[in-house]
Structure 1
Amino acid sequence: MVLKAERRRWLIIAIIFIAIVFNYMDRQIVSILKPMLKGEFGLSDSGYAWVLNIFTISYAVMYPISGWLVDKFGTRLVMFWGVLGWSLACIGGGLSRTILPFKFFRGMLGTAEPTNFVAQLKVVTVWFPGKLRATANSLCVAGSSIGAIVAPPVVAWLALKYNWRAAFVILGAIGVLIALLWKWVYRDPPADILLEATGNNNSAAIPAFRWKKLWTRKSLWGILLIRFVSDPVWYFCLFWLPGYLQEESGFTLAEVGMFGWIPFLVADLGAIATSAWSDKLMEKGHEPLKARKIMLTAVACFAPLCMLVPYIPNAVGTLAVFSIVAIACLSWLFTVSVVVAEAFPANNVSSVLGIAGGFGAMGAVLFNYFVGQFIGTMGAEKIFIAMSFLHPVAVLLLWTMVCLESPKAIN
């Protein structure tokens, strides 16, 4: 029975991985097809930034709600409706004939997508013990960068062979099948697995903060600020790098399809390796939260390299620097979730991640607006310099504000 449950948890991780792959492919379609969509709908850079922000604002608002829904109604149900919802939104975007319905479906996409990540962290927390948690988390969340890797060639191929609408419709249809697969496979963990992962064999009996008490915890505010300042760098890589390569480095759409995936592959492999390293630090005697902090601090040292990008004379150098910066970004995105799982009770992790993810997305909204308004007038140099300081600030917040939180005697 235990062996069967141990196998099931890795199958669950595999399905989450696939879901996140298509989650990121669906959200990244607009960045890959940016010139094509700007021509189709008559958008300026500022107009394109608003399309991004409709998605991102919806994403930010729904993230905390999604976390509460997972803690309240369970992982299986909430994730099913989330995957189904964003897949239908992707299809709707491909069928849109004018900019208004297109914007509506991008908003719907942003509303549905956060369910994936808050559900994923709850799965990792209740199915995996601490010695496997960061590795398991990184393997399923690796779907984000794999999605970013495969999106450029797949989306470019579909758009060039058929049309831009086909990319939206086909990828959305695959997502509907993933939702059905999830509902068929997922089950809550048995008592022995839950005991190994959380120290309690009854999920209802795990101590937890009430919702309003979460907001009084210093660690929550630390994690919110960390996501607010660090997430925008990753969003820039996702939403602006493909267009930057075409408009500033001279890549064609076909060349973006051929080479635009490289930074995301490097980031994926690097972030899995850094997550495994943090698990190894724990095995060597570091307490879990400190192990995560040490790793995140080390990789943040590479993030300031992004200030070099505007001065690099060729696309090869640009891809190389973005690859290194992307390792830092994705390591933080992966492991800050594990920090949540180490710092808060299992029955609060989805809510905390949801609140934090909303703050991270709002940071990206503000940064997207700033980039869209000023990249043409201020120059790219100042944008990249601003980004270079964000992860060092996040390191300071991590060490000064985040600690182990216990609900005993608090509620």
Structure 2
Amino acid sequence: MAEPAWAVLSFWVPLYLAKEHGMDLKQIAMFAWLPFLAADLGSVVSGYLTRLYVRWFGCTRVNSVIASSVTGAFLMLSLTLVAITRDPYITIILISIGGFGHQIISCMLSALVVESFDKGQMATVNGMRGSAAWIASFLFSLLIGVTADKIGFNPLFIAMGFFDLIGAVFLVAFIAERRAKRA
């Protein structure tokens, strides 16, 4: 459920900034790259985050990946605040936090495939995961194109903020290991 939010950040944020915050192309160019930088940092931090969960809480590798994903999902809640923020610069910061959280989730979903499947299955499963994610992104982008003019962007940002929490609930409910593995 994370990928549709990233598609919105990638393709719709410049239009949102222009329409809702009155930013011109120069202002957008000055600031719209920040969520992508934050996402890059989220990629780097995600690997360290799993190590911290293993070291500090004794999580298994799978559970540390899931805990990192849940952390990213909570960071995505920043997108819900975009709906009530009128300051364009605070909006950029909130979207950047969402980008950071999204990329933690994205990296951890790939790591979850590595932790959960045999070598011979990894590429296929990860490819299927990626394909499903981008199909969902395509469909959500179409939905935004149809609905943004009618209901505005704010309900969409609220929905995006909660999508990843819903996904995190599924991760915890269906994939998390319930008992610590014994050595």
TM-score by length of 2: 0.87
The one-character-per-residue Cα deviations of 1:372-409 (angstroms, maximum 9, x if unpaired) are 001001122221222122011111111222268xxxxx
Aligned partner of 1:240 in structure 2 is 12
1:343–1:402 contact (8 Å) kept in structure 2: no
Question: For 2:11 and 2:45, how far apart are their aligned partners in 1?
Answer: 25
2:39–2:96 contact (8 Å) kept in structure 1: yes
Question: For 2:32 and 2:158, how far apart are their aligned partners in 1?
Answer: 22
1:265 and 2:37 aligned: yes
Question: For 1:385 and 1:238, how far apart are their aligned partners in 2?
Answer: 17
Aligned partner of 2:180 in structure 1 is none
Aligned partner of 2:104 in structure 1 is 331
Q: Aligned ranges for residues 33-182 of structure 1 at < 5 Å?
A: none
Aligned partner of 2:90 in structure 1 is 317
1:356 and 2:129 aligned: yes
2:110 partner amino acid = S
| Dislocated runs of 4+, deviation >6 Å | none
Give the share of equivalent positions with the same residue, in percent.
25
1:276 partner amino acid = Y
Q: State which of 30, 33, 50 in structure 2 corresponds to 1:278.
A: 50
Aligned partner of 2:181 in structure 1 is none
- When Rg is computed on C-alpha atoms for both structures, the one with the higher figure is 1
Sort the Cα spacing of 1:403 and 1:299 in 2 relative to 1 into closer, same or farther, 3 A.
closer
Higher relative contact order (CA 8 A, sep 6+): 2
Unaligned runs of 5+ residues in structure 2 are 178-183
Return the offset for 1:232.
0.5
Backbone CA RMSD of aligned residues:
1.8
Question: For 2:157 and 2:75, how far apart are their aligned partners in 1?
Answer: 14
2:120 partner amino acid = N
Unaligned runs of 5+ residues in structure 1 are 1-228, 405-411
SS at match of 1:377: helix
Q: State which of 364, 385, 391 in structure 1 corresponds to 2:164.
A: 391
1:250 and 2:22 aligned: yes
Question: For 1:308 and 1:282, how far apart are their aligned partners in 2?
Answer: 31
1:230–1:390 contact (8 Å) kept in structure 2: yes
1:309–1:321 contact (8 Å) kept in structure 2: yes
1:340–1:353 contact (8 Å) kept in structure 2: yes
Aligned partner of 1:306 in structure 2 is 79
Return the offset for 1:281.
3.1
Return the offset for 1:283.
5.2
Question: For 1:358 and 1:384, how far apart are their aligned partners in 2?
Answer: 23
SS at match of 1:302: helix
The one-character-per-residue Cα deviations of 1:333-369 (angstroms, maximum 9, x if unpaired) are 1111011000001121110011111111121122111
Return the offset for 1:270.
3.2
TM-score by length of 1: 0.41
2:133 partner amino acid = G
